[in-house]
Structure 1
């Protein structure tokens, strides 16, 4: 009987514990923080031993295998000691994938992965038995245990990829790579790029790799590190024999001389980056033999993702937009790019080593006022102070929204697109987005 130690009692940890127990492991869950009540109840109900508020080293170091939450960096002393002892330390996707024969679609990237994963699932579920997991919804491990879908769409972060050994998606998607989470990669962009590319490291020539053919970082890496899989790039400017490209207003996708054409003019999602997300998702659907009529209808009725450029309300002819999921500069770049009205921009939070330069053109063109919502706004003030007439600091969402309400005029937009992580003032980006929506509804 294998001893499985799970570090972190959140969604992925509890899912792994349940799957491990069902497969005959001796399971112990340890969380240095406090495990949420709903997860405690699940562990108690399933008679799984756990502790929180502490890591009992003697009960962890005797593991045969350790599954760690993606939030725990590998540099932590306890993890280093496990690695020195030769104990495999893996992520949930690595652990869980061993217990399914399903076709796996793995989606990663600095931005767009949640939208692309959700959209891909939306296209596939019309005709296939398919689960959506990874960084999103119910954990992958729990879904294998409860549903055993024939296919999975997995949204995968670089942190989850850091802890794989054999994990291999049949179809890998890389939406883009821009500097993000550099605080976890010793501020070395190369290390972060390498981490993202682990999604293809176990692929063979029977597998597929779908990626942004306009992304210089990706193209440069592929030149130096050839991959085994069949390459299917997508692009807004180039054309490909195999892959997806834009021809006038149409997306054309070719795989082995089999071409489908999708009009973009009725896409439910707006913005250039969403044409790319649609290309990636449609390429997966085409590979998995979804009918083109189904793909077309699904692209036209897809509602998008909560906290991602989500229209909340229009008040006094001012549109309030929740883009709380924009936790890095590049995501905010896409948001500002799609703004066509004068914008009151709410920004700030935990800076992960951001370089704000690429936003300057949009701020100069479109932003009339900036509201800094963070505990430390100095960098924002230094970067943007000279660009707008109004720049205000606050630490409360309700206050930020009230200020925005005062500053905005008919025809303007108020955009929450923080470009930063949320942990200084909020539990997570969802909490930040919900507080924004509540504050707007209370105006």
Structure 2
């Protein structure tokens, strides 16, 4: 790792040590020890450290270091990242999305992050564009089911850098007869990022394809999910794998059971992950303290379970929030559309443009109304749907995986800049 300047670093280190017999700096450490220390630091700290010296900047910016940091970030909770709150507005008909960082003030409102700017992305004028998932610092958007626009396409969007990476076009026989469910993860054997797509036609026949980020084509794999992923209520990437929480309805008893379908990017296989409890009420998956977490309502409690031991699939109940103690009712949680982690606890979203923020420090719950991001002037505003996401910062740069497009270009629609002749490449 970092062999391109390993020898130069060693020689300069010896020279510095000869000059400073009494005082030493961080860069006086052997390179392997220094890299090991840096790889366990959160992204926010790394961005500060890289400004201290050219040597540290070269280490942090090196792609092999980025890969090592991503391995620790996705495989374990060794990298203590404080999640950031991302507010998004999706305007349906224009397929326009605005993204901005916010901070919770501990009271009843979200405040704009003083360092944040609004990132905006426009896909194409149709009602079938949607955000599928968030992976570290990347948002994934797709356009499906529109035969007049040709094959379905997808993009990765980094709102922090304002970069968009169009992915290779997807070879589908008849786009209007098919839709796709996507996921993204990290293959620790090959140190590559991969995207999985499960295509389903009107007869519920499934086909799975994998794209290695940075390559030019999708590859069909033999494994398919044991159940349709279209019933998924929440999805996330954890421990390098992708996970979907789906609901199964028994045709005879009409009873509903939940199941977690996972995809192993190393083996490129689907499998079932057991979850801690069955509940007929609201259930969601989210990331808590770097681990996959499961939320369910049982009786008058909101239970939060964490999969701390991923290899053994052992769940631990982390919180049991008593609704009666906090003056809440089940109705307050009946409309929950998702949940996530903030700096000092967990937030729960509902469908009324507000959220409930649970503070673990003082065991309190507060109602929070979040603002609507204003789109650009003259942008038609139809069906604004705001939402909050818990985003984990990452060092991933889309520039390493293809020709990125500036978000300014995307505001005019991806079809205006897409080159059909290059559908097999980036």
User: Which structure has more RCO (C-alpha within 8 Å, separation ≥ 6)?
Assistant: 2
Q: Could you say which structure has the higher helix fraction?
A: 1
The TM-score with structure 1 as length reference comes to 0.32
The TM-score with structure 2 as length reference comes to 0.33
